[in-house]
Structure 1
């Protein structure tokens, strides 16, 4: 295989492809592997170890053995490890971006942005590692002292998705380590290479300092449930963090309930993008492109429903069509490409079905809507106008570059539309009315709200949703809290 267009020969030769357990890379039990392919070319990139339940058990053994010594490692030392990993990630930006593009398809510019974003989680939690706040006070009734301490939860299972293989890994690993927890990471089989490469950076820094080797363990697998079910049933595991679909998250929550595990769930979304009659339409279109088109629309925070006041709907749609038609679809490794492929053939089938359903119900395709099947999993940026409210493009999450435009007549109607879903991860709204913006911030049922901006994610801010979009938060101070227990001592 010639990696010259996607991964340098040096990187291909040195990219980890095994199971990381107790500081050592090894083949999976039985030496079984699975293929990782490039969604733009459908070429096989590398064969990766296909971890088994036995590998998962070994990884948890290592994490459990390292739990006490890592918990007792001074917070400053833990911070030093994270600072060093941050510097490694930044230094290897080009290699990491090449891996992200090769296995996930996103354009190189977006891949580099993901590296910078993911690195910020490591730096942020390096800074937070020394800030485990507690309290001491006299008991109000007298006769004693109340001490509140923070302790690490314990060994944690971190399950990451394919669409942000670096950022979702660092967003989980960094706060866990800062809190004093050891981890077992299960990356997506669709895009494990980037996560494995970052895991090697953690391994190397731990080894260089003589710190517990089992602090960070990684087990890739093509059979997730077979690996995770016995881990969730093991009483030594105390924490589960998962990013992925709501359906899978619900199943994992049921499994985690038996052990009463602490859980963090970042699940599906159906983000409304509201454009009111007083909005700056140029700004709204710019925000729409940022909110919709990153990673070809394959993000949990992608704008899924464009809810536009009827008085400006035609004007907004016309401008959005122009912006969509300026996008260049192709292999993300090629210069000038702004929209890469979808992750696999099933994703293309799903998007095609959503568009067909909308058209069958009366929607008009303003641009896009079809793409000749051939090499690679591509779908064009698509704008749908006149979309009925019961179309799948409105009721379900569309993981692809499709923008359905639905009209509303007043603020009450807009709020009812925005909240008329079981999901509540993020919402976007464009308006010049400060009073309206404040009402939206109180009334929209979402864990994150962007007012006059199309990007809300920030390592220093809490990320997460309400309703079926999840439990808990990642990022910010709240992300560290997810890995800490509160202990009260009456003295």
Structure 2
């Protein structure tokens, strides 16, 4: 593919490097290079916001807050619906833009755009269904009314792996609830966020309601925003380590926090599972976005009776995947986001091999330009290897053998994380029993993909606080207000 021939409209990186998006205007600047992981080349530079510019975004969000809060829910709904429509109309351009700055295969990027757009459609509908309560006190003498107010200005911090979906999953419910926002995307993949801002303005989002800033120094900038008493909400998706730091910052001003953090998902295959179905699910759960997903299957626990057949089948399927540039139409597995990511994956695989694990395919970084690591299967992995406890975030399937249900549950729970898990079995009762024993916020039974805008997304333990998506997602941006009424 000759990229120069497709740099038009929303696919053009230059269009989205115009400046910070504050109060409906572009504030010029540069300083942060955006790299194409498929080639290692710099696409463009985007602005590097300082604290003063970040606070001007807070000022803009504050100035717009009253008007947006008082905008009728139906009108907020129609704007979000228009945003959904525009995303759908520009889906192919947005998918190419995502592939350019993130590296993911075009098929994955197209799937992300469709998924991301659905959050605007879902919350366009939820905007008109914000709940309330009316009931009597237990003694019958008084009445209780409960309404919901927008929580206030929200700081939204999103990661690089799903630059469209992680933004819409936060912006959608925030705007539906009547909140104004400052979006800080990851500096590795900021172009999609700026493209979303353009589409939002075209959809009718008023100036100041959505502001987008990028910075190479997120710690001080985020701290400054969170220390402003006008900011009342933090919604963060990223690593558990950074999440802990942000929670400590938010505690200083008692800011409400929603945190979607790291994962270490177990994928359990019982002896009675349909082998083809389990392999199909494994490929989705492991290789979506090249394994760079918090819900990615990290640890494959396969019961002894089906273990060897599963390893052979997964090895064959992983070997068949075409590795290449994300924007190449034939690519099935694109590059990793950075050279640092490749080095981490290689370290984990090498350490497991040193401890006796065997690689059945892949296992060596791809030479040349770009940040490539091939689809890899590694079996007989010791349960105390680093790869069993660290989030891989890459196209590596580490396989472990087990014999009993209790053993599978125990192994699945030997982690500080609890975001997602998968169980495959023809016996639904058995699958449910195993699933109930796993400490996780989400469970896929005979399914390798669980993410859905209509479902609550989130984890337990060190995987986060709160939920995004579904009917509960909007509640993260609302404060209940109780009226004790005498009449």
User: What's the TM-score, normalizing by structure 2?
Assistant: 0.97
Cα distance in 2 for partners of 1:397, 1:250 equals 17
105 and 437 in structure 1: CA distance in 2 versus 1, 3 angstrom threshold? same
Q: Aligned residue for 1:51?
A: 49
Within the candidate set 71, 74, 81, 2:72 is matched to 74
Cα distance in 2 for partners of 1:242, 1:143 equals 43
Q: Aligned residue for 1:127?
A: 125
Cα distance in 2 for partners of 1:391, 1:7 equals 45
Tell whether 2:246 aligns with 1:248. no
Cα distance in 1 for partners of 2:71, 2:183 equals 21
Give the Å deviation of 1:440: 2.3
411 and 135 in structure 1: CA distance in 2 versus 1, 3 angstrom threshold? same
Residue pair 1:7, 1:98 contacting (<8 A) in 2 also: no
For structure 1, the residue ranges without an aligned partner over 5 or more in a row are: none
367 and 261 in structure 1: CA distance in 2 versus 1, 3 angstrom threshold? same
1:15-54 equivalences in 2 (<5 Å):
15-27=16-28, 31-54=29-52
Give the Å deviation of 1:204: 2.6
Q: Aligned residue for 2:453?
A: 459
Cα distance in 2 for partners of 1:5, 1:223 equals 34
Residue pair 1:369, 1:380 contacting (<8 A) in 2 also: yes
Cα distance in 2 for partners of 1:401, 1:84 equals 36
1:281-292 equivalences in 2 (<5 Å):
281-292=275-286
Residue pair 2:86, 2:203 contacting (<8 A) in 1 also: no
Tell whether 2:322 aligns with 1:328. yes
User: 136-145 or 189-198, which moves further after superposition?
Assistant: 136-145
Q: Aligned residue for 2:7?
A: 7
Give the Å deviation of 1:32: 4.0
Residue pair 2:10, 2:94 contacting (<8 A) in 1 also: no
Residue pair 2:153, 2:230 contacting (<8 A) in 1 also: yes
Q: Aligned residue for 1:257?
A: 251
Tell whether 2:369 aligns with 1:369. no
Q: Aligned residue for 2:84?
A: 86
17 and 269 in structure 1: CA distance in 2 versus 1, 3 angstrom threshold? farther
Name the count of aligned residue pairs.
Answer: 483
Within the candidate set 165, 184, 187, 1:186 is matched to 184
Cα distance in 2 for partners of 1:125, 1:291 equals 26
Residue pair 1:275, 1:431 contacting (<8 A) in 2 also: yes
Deviations 1:254-303 (A, max 9, x none): 00011111111000000000001101111101000000001111000000
405 and 266 in structure 1: CA distance in 2 versus 1, 3 angstrom threshold? same
User: What's the TM-score, normalizing by structure 1?
Assistant: 0.96
Residue pair 2:10, 2:97 contacting (<8 A) in 1 also: no
Cα distance in 2 for partners of 1:110, 1:63 equals 33
Deviations 1:182-206 (A, max 9, x none): 0000000000001110111112333
Tell whether 2:304 aligns with 1:310. yes
95 and 401 in structure 1: CA distance in 2 versus 1, 3 angstrom threshold? same
Q: Aligned residue for 2:63?
A: 65
Deviations 1:396-443 (A, max 9, x none): 110110011101110000000011100000000100112212212322
Cα distance in 1 for partners of 2:394, 2:122 equals 31
TM-align CA RMSD? 1.3
